[in-house]
Structure 1
C-alpha cells in the first residue's frame, strides 16, 4: 500500500505534536505541583460522625504556620462552614462525606476534590494572601445542592 508523501508528513507532524503536548503536560504538572488528591484512607460512611477525626470537625494548628481542617460534606452543608486561617499558613484539608458524592472547590485556588462516601480525601494548600474564598459543592447532590457552600477566611497576620 502506497502512502503519499503529504500523508506521511501529516502523520509525523501529528505524532510529534502529541509527544510535545504530553511532555508539556508532564512538565507543567511537575513544576506547578499539580497532583491528584490522595486516597488517604477508607472509612465506614455509616459511622463517619462517630469516628475520629470526623467526630470533631474543625480547624487545628498542627505546627507553627501549619493547620489541619477536618471537614464533612453532607446534604447540604459543609461542617465547619467557615474556616479562619492566617495568611501564609499551609492548610491540609482532611475530608469525607457520610451520604452521597459531593464536590469541594475553593474559588480562586486549585483546590478541587470529589468527596466520595467511604473515602477520606487529603489536599494541602498554602493561602498566601489575606481575603475570603468561597467553598462550593460542584457535584450535584440533591434538592439543596445550591445551598451547599462555605467560606475560607484568610486573615492578615498580626491583625
Structure 2
C-alpha cells in the first residue's frame, strides 16, 4: 500500500502544468524568431519552411493542451480536495499536516490515513461533506511505502 505525504500532494499539483507552459513558451518564441527571419529575408525559403514546421507543431501542442485542459483541471481539483482532507484530518488529530500521509491522490471511498499515532480509515457520509475517523490496525505493515518522504 502506498501513502502520499502532504508535501508530495501539494508539489504534484502544478509540475505538469508548469512544464507545458514552458514548452509552449519556448515554441512560441522560436516561432516568432523564425517568422521575423522569414519576413526580413523573404527570398530565403528555409526560414519559411521552419516557420511553417514550428507553427504547425505549436498548433498541435496547443490543441492537445486544450483537449487535456478539462482533465488537468479535474485532477488538480481532486488533488486540492485530498489536500484539504489531509489538513482536516491533521486538525482533528492535533497534528501538523506534514506528518499525515494518505493512501490516494484522489477523493474516493476507501481512504486510509497514516499518522505517527497509527492508521485511520476515513469514512464519509452519504453526500461526502463530513467524515468520521476510525482507528484501524493493519495486519501487514511491511508492504507500506510512503511517497514524498524527505
Larger relative contact order (Cα-Cα within 8 Å, sequence gap ≥ 6)? 2
TM range (shorter): 0.3 to 0.5
* Higher-Rg member (1/2): 2
TM, length-normalised to structure 1: 0.31
Task: Return the structure number with greater helix share.
Answer: 2
Task: Return the structure number with greater strand share.
Answer: 1
TM, length-normalised to structure 2: 0.32
